[in-house]
Amino acid sequence: MRRVFASFDLLAVHHARNLLAAEGIDTLLKNEILSSGAGELPPADCQIELWVTDERDAPRAESLLRDGAASHTAAGAPWQCGACGEHLEPQFTQCWRCGGARAA
């Protein structure tokens, strides 16, 4: 196992975990609950840590976390819902307003 990311921000760590999971990289969280002890415990010991379970995945995981935000945006053109006419971004497969599905 190898640590690839750490933060005091729980949402940032879970977002990183989701990015890696989408790429098929198995991860483990450490110190998720311990982070609430910051102030009573040394801050450096309380960061939430994201570890890859297979160390061979670590270089790819680090690269994805470093460069992945820009390269993992949805491809394609915005679309318009056929049911209600709402304009939507390409990453959405369903209309937020009426629930209509994007036409293939």
The pLDDT tens digits for 13-69 are: 999 999 999 999 999 999 988 867 777 888 878 899 999 999 999 999 999 999 865
What angle (nearest 5°) sits at the alpha carbon of residue 96, between those of residues 101 and 65? 95
User: Which domains does the chain show, CATH number per domain?
Assistant: 2-71 (3.30.70), 74-104 (no CATH)
The SS3 of residue 36 is helix
Structure tokens belonging to residue 12: 């940032």
Residue of 29, 30, 9, 15 whose CA lies nearest to 64: 15
Please tell me the pTM assigned to this model: 0.64
- Rg, Å, the chain Cα set: 18
Exposure of 59 in the CB half-sphere (CA atoms within 13 A): 1
